Structure 1
Amino acid sequence: MKKALIIISILVLAAGGGLVYYFFFSKNLSDQIVLPYIAHQKPRVDPHVPSAVPVADKLDEVLFDGLFNISANRSGTVYEDGLGEFVSIDQKNNVTIRLKPRKKWHNSYSVTMDKKNISISEKEGINFTAKDLKFTLNRIKKLGSISPDYILVSQAVPSFDFQGPNDDGEIVFQLKSDRIWTESDIKEVFSFKILPFDSELDAPFYNNGTGPYLQAGEIEDKIHFHKSPDYNAVVNNVVLKPYIDNSTYSTELKNRNINVLLSTPFGAISPILGKTEKYFYKSSISTCFFALFFNVERLDLDQRKALRKMIDNKKILNRFFRIGTEQQRHIANYRGENNNYEEYLNYSVFPTTSYYVEDSVVIPATELDGPDPSVLPDTVQIQTCLTHDYREELAELVEILNDPSLFGGKIKVNVVPNAEIRKGNYDAVLVAVSGYRSNFLFDMYNIFLRQPDFETYRVNLHTAIDKKGKQVILDQSFEADKNFFRIDLGTDSPERGQFTELLKKIYGFMATHEIGDKQYFARDIDQLEHELALGSWLFSLPSLAYFSTQFDSNTIDLYGTASQLSTIEKWQEARKK
């Protein structure tokens, strides 16, 4: 590669069979995709388990491949070949997939880096094989319903196994015969990310993939990824830069310290980034909602119903987006509609933007009956934590809820350390539930079984095999100090029977292989939660991403259930005029 040296710019040299890429310290971010992250929340990627750090889930698409990869175009979500190629499906639902054995794992390459350069050279080619696929399927099977991929695979291939490969590198999966499988359906089932066979089953994180970018290392808390020599990504470098919180992200984009912002404060169109000749934005389906989870140990059923009735989510949303004021926060959705605020209001544990409400599987009750607020404590004590994701949005909600003109001074929200949340000294806790999917793979564990910890995603799931050989969920899954609601099946309460039924429905919903059964369990969960009044579901946050016009907007597609980084290898810089 022969280019003139530009002072404090970029130098690309061919050296000893490897490539050396020089970084630069001006605000020229050419040939880089630079994203922010919260400094004390370094993303640890597990491609099969949800993360409490949103950017970690999105990095799946940067590091790993599935047999097929979810992508997007202007028409919607699509699936492309990854480590496999679809061959055929016969009348007996035998699906043949040809593997791509020439794909190399990232640890095939030697990576060295310092403040000035990254050097990449091949040390030993380690190719993808069917053994890697078998290991990954086994891991997903062992993870069980804690993994969204388990639900996806098990409803098609309960055996989690395949035949082959033959001499042509083809393997065969036997799919269930209870539905007509389209090519798109098949590719979705096999879009889970694949790990090498010698990976640990339960590592704290994974970074050895075959995806478009390999993880090069860290310098001064900047996390560097470089285009894999085995991939045709257009932009060479991806960099994650650390910041204290998300409140400065828009300013950092304006000051050219970053060039991509995957989420804006409040999910709103940024007034700071108003100059359209320098930035453009793209919307996708919401993946986060705010809610109040009620403490069943401190509030009885009548009090919970009264609190839910008192909390007017529309008033809160109007304040949050400052609707009707000069400071109104404007929004836009992926369909190109502006300021459609009420579409984000939620009245069920299933958000309005989820598949279950959009397709009328669940029809939430928008008129909430309940006792008079006089049954409530003099002051409802709510806690939240502001040291992790959505800090700015949660802080705004704290201010809104503490406004005596809104709820007559009946509510007091206290900001506390993460460790204090675990003690359960609250009537309700204000949370941001992130990472939910708009398709049928909605994560109920993230709501009901997640341990009360804003920093780390842990699910308190206990199962066993009953006398009939069937896997069942155990009562220990509902222990007071292991969920935000403080539900405990080890103690007597008037609603113990309903809590037990709710736990069974949650497990049934998460573990079933059948979409029809999922719909059945979803309706039951919605009904039970409504009767038990376990929370106030407030509203979802619009999903809006900003990009510098350094990039060609026509090469960046965001749509539906595709991750915002699903097409990152196709992003291109705009041609200079």
Structure 2
Amino acid sequence: MKKAIIGIVIALLGISGGSVYYFVFRKNLKDQIVIPYIAHQKPRIDPHVPSAVPLADKLDEVLFDGLFNVSANPSGIVYEDALGELMSFEKNTVSIRLKPRKKWHSSYTVAIEKDKISLTDAQAVYFIAKDLKFTLSRIQKLGSISPDYILVSQAIPDFDFTGPDDNGVIKFQFRGDRIWNEADIKEVLSFKILPAESEIDAPMYKNGTGPYLQAGDSENKIFYIKSPDNNAIIQNVVLKPFIDNSTYSTELKNRNINTLLSTPFGAISSILADTNAYFYKSSISTCFFAIFYNVERLSVTQRQALRKLIDNQKLMNRFFRIGTPQQRHIANYRGSGDNYEDYLNYSMFPTSSYYVEEEIIIPQKEQQDAPDLSVLPDTVRIQTCLNNDYREELADLVEAMNDPTLFGGRIKVDAVQNDEIKKGNYDAVLVAISGYRSNFLFDLYNLFLREPDFETYKLNLHTKIDKKGKVVIDEQSFQPDKNFFRIGLNTNSPEQQDFRQLLEYVYGFMSTREIGDKQYYARYIDELDQRLALGSWLFSLPSLAYFSTQFDNQTIDLYGTASQLSTIEKWQERKKK
């Protein structure tokens, strides 16, 4: 009791002195959102570039605002006012009123001292139009490496605006080649905004205007506290480290965490079956498994045979243990669960993606004949790395594919270190592709130009100016040691012209501002892959999140492509009856 009284007194004294102290090292999780992360994969946040760590991309919503923020309600995706307010849209001129009283997190001094976080007012720094100018310039310079570039460039070719006027209103001139509705406009302007004094290529960013500001690290925990300039309800967000994701469900049961953004195998957890203690919510998949073939070691004939040999239906049945007492059941945000078939993929564009759902491409699902095993090596050697995300799932796939009853003993999968993957001593590599979007902004660079490194997300993207002054892809972008497929254009491969065409198509898809052009490129790329057999596109991983009933179920909405943390400021603790 004495300690409690002392704590209250200290808090009151802090408030009167211009500082607020938050006690966050308590054993109970009251007024905290505690999320696990893998200890050796601290999230490094860049709101405009995808990360190799899925949690980092989700934290964009915690720290940063756009002019409008993507959100969710029980009915679907919505866009809410953040740093801007839509005033009018006439003749492709979009008028936005900026919100001038939004403070950057740098307006506060934050420190962790022993058992408390202190938050003190510093010099107020407000969001201004200059910050928006800087952000648009950064996105433009990042080019097609940034999903935001692809989104903004289709609407605002000059990446600029006029104003603000005396009322704080700025004007964008949108392209006139399509009809823009309110949701389209707000989606284009939902990119996260950085302050103008930011470095343009910093290794990470943390100064935003979002609902929470980063307080710092202590004992490998990463702490965020709600911004005084925002209306978040829960006081703290805490990222807590663990060796891997295999114990996450147990940690939730033991009350060491209260929020689990993904479950092993994307499956409903038997450990967390008590509905009085936990509830779950599903959303659209953002990860799929694939096997990329090494084109230096396997000819197109061998790759076609291997694609026929690897039956994704058999592998998925084994993965989810379908039809056994240990079956891993899955939920479905659209309706009834155990909808496994919906997760099977037959193209590099997953079945849940815009390009398949809208029948822009129609994948070939049926194999016309049996594989010609005589053309394959006696043993097809596949490698993967189990030291990063999706460790448990990849390990299960390794075990399944090594079972001789599944693929006749013709496949051997080895778990190796990351540096071994870089050497390319494999016939194929098993990977988890995370963070993909189900709308038209699908990221093909993540497949074809990502360097063969499980730990770091780095793209080997080179462009140049052609004789007509147009930016085009440079052939240096395809080098054998710079992509998982080992594709290079300085070889004597009979497929060299096809690979050159693939590179041009991929760049065309990623860089075009026209949705219609994206659709055409998607068809070309899919048709080329059907002929070249570049990989096996296995299946997507269901997305399922668990929460402690410490929280009010009705205040947490996950839906479609909305980030799992896009409504975090609205989460509330359940009121005791």
- TM-score normalised by structure 1 residue count: 0.98
User: What is the percentage of aligned positions where both structures have the same residue?
Assistant: 72
Q: Is the 1:212–1:232 contact (alpha carbons within 8 Å) kept by the matching residues of 2?
A: yes
* Other structure's SS at 1:5 match: helix
- In structure 2, list runs of 5 or more residues that go unmatched: none
Counterpart AA for 1:532: L
Q: Output one character per residue of 1:261-302: Cα deviation in whole Å (capped at 9) or x when no partner.
A: 000000000011011110000000000000000000000011
Could you say what secondary structure the match of 2:4 adopts? coil
Q: What is the rounded CA distance, in whole Å, between the counterparts of 1:241 and 1:354 in structure 2? A: 32
Match of 2:241 in 1: 242
Q: Identify the residue that residue 562 of structure 1 maps to in structure 2.
A: 562
Shift of 1:13: 3.8
Deviation at 1:465, TM superposition (A): 1.0
List aligned pairs for 1:253-264, cutoff 5 A: 253-264=252-263
Contact 1:66 1:190 in 2 (8 A): yes
> In 1, Cα distance between the equivalents of 2:9 and 2:312?
51
Cα drift, residue 12 of structure 1: 5.0
Corresponding residue number in structure 2 for 1:41: 41
**How far has the Cα of 1:24 moved from its partner?**
3.8
User: Aligned residue for 1:463?
Assistant: 463
Once residues 417 and 81 of structure 1 are traced to their aligned partners in structure 2, the CA distance between those partners, rounded to angstroms, is 46
Instruction: Give the letter for the 1:559 counterpart.
Output: Y
Q: What is the alpha-carbon distance in structure 1 between the residues aligned to residue 156 and residue 528 of structure 2?
A: 31
Aligned to 1:168: 167
- The aligned counterpart of 1:538 is 538
- The amino acid that maps onto 1:437 is R
Secondary structure at the aligned position of 1:95 is classed as strand
Give yes or no for contact 1:404–1:410 (8 Å, CA) kept in 2: yes
* Structure 1 pair 234–274 and aligned structure 2 pair: CA distance change class (3 A): same
Q: 1:409 and 1:58 mapped to 2: Cα distance?
A: 40
1:279 is matched with 278
Inter-partner Cα distance in structure 2 for 1:458 and 1:529: 23
Determine helix, strand or coil for the equivalent of 1:450: coil
How do 1:348-427 residues align onto structure 2 when only pairs under 5 Å count?
A: 348-369=347-368, 371-427=371-427
Q: Which residues of 2 match residues 89-238 of structure 1 at below 5 A?
A: 89-90=89-90, 92-238=91-237
Deviations 1:243-278 (A, max 9, x none): 000000000000000000000000000011011110
RMSD: 1.5
Could you say which residue in structure 2 is the equivalent of 1:266?
Answer: 265
Structure 2 letter corresponding to 1:135: F
Relative distance call for 1:575 and 1:11 in structure 2 (3 A) is: farther
User: 111-120 or 501-510, which moves further after superposition?
Assistant: 111-120
Structure 1 stretches lacking a partner, 5+ long: none
The residue that corresponds to 1:325 in the other structure is: 324
- The corresponding residue for 2:505 is 505
Consecutive aligned runs of 4 or more in structure 1 exceeding 6 Å deviation: 6-11
Match of 1:61 in 2: 61
Quick one: structure 1 residues 11 and 572, their matched pair in 2 at CA, closer, same or farther if it must change by over 3 Å? farther
Query: Secondary structure of the residue that 1:168 maps to in structure 2?
Result: coil
Q: Report SS of the residue matched to 2:120.
A: strand
Contact 1:9 1:25 in 2 (8 A): no
* Partner SS, residue 69 of structure 1: strand
In 2, Cα distance between equivalents of 1:61 and 1:547 = 18
Distance of aligned partners of 1:156 and 1:247 in 2 relative to their CA distance in 1, 3 Å threshold = same
Q: Give the letter aligned to residue 539 of structure 2.
A: F
| Superposed displacement of residue 121, structure 1 | 1.4
The Cα of 1:7 is off from its aligned counterpart by 11
Give me the whole-angstrom Cα distance separating, in 2, the residues matched to 1:438 and 1:400: 28
Where does 1:415-494 land on structure 2 (aligned, <5 Å)?
415-494=415-494
Preserved contact between residue 10 and residue 24 of structure 1 (Cα < 8 Å): no
Cα 1:365–1:216 shift into 2, 3 Å: same
Q: Which moved more, 1:413-422 or 1:4-13?
A: 4-13
Q: Does the Cα contact within 8 Å between 2:353 and 2:437 map onto a contact in 1?
A: yes
Structure 1 stretch 191-200 or stretch 332-341: which is displaced more?
A: 332-341
CA contact (8 A) 1:54 1:434 kept: yes
**Cα displacement (A) at 1:9:** 11
1:494 Cα offset (Å): 1.1
Task: Return the TM-score normalized by structure 2.
Answer: 0.98
Q: Figure out how many residues of one structure are paired with residues of the other and give that number.
A: 573
1:496 counterpart residue number: 496
* 3-state secondary structure, aligned to 2:523: helix
In 2, Cα distance between equivalents of 1:417 and 1:177:
51
Residues 91-134 of structure 1 show CA distances to partners (whole Å, capped at 9, x for unaligned) of: x2110000011100001101111231111111100000000000
Check if 1:21 corresponds to 2:25.
no
Query: In the aligned structure 2, how far is the partner of 1:291 from the partner of 1:514?
Result: 28
Distance 1:503 1:10 in 2: 65
Quick check: 1:288 aligned with 2:323? no
The separation in 1 between residues aligned to 2:11 and 2:57, in whole angstroms, is 31
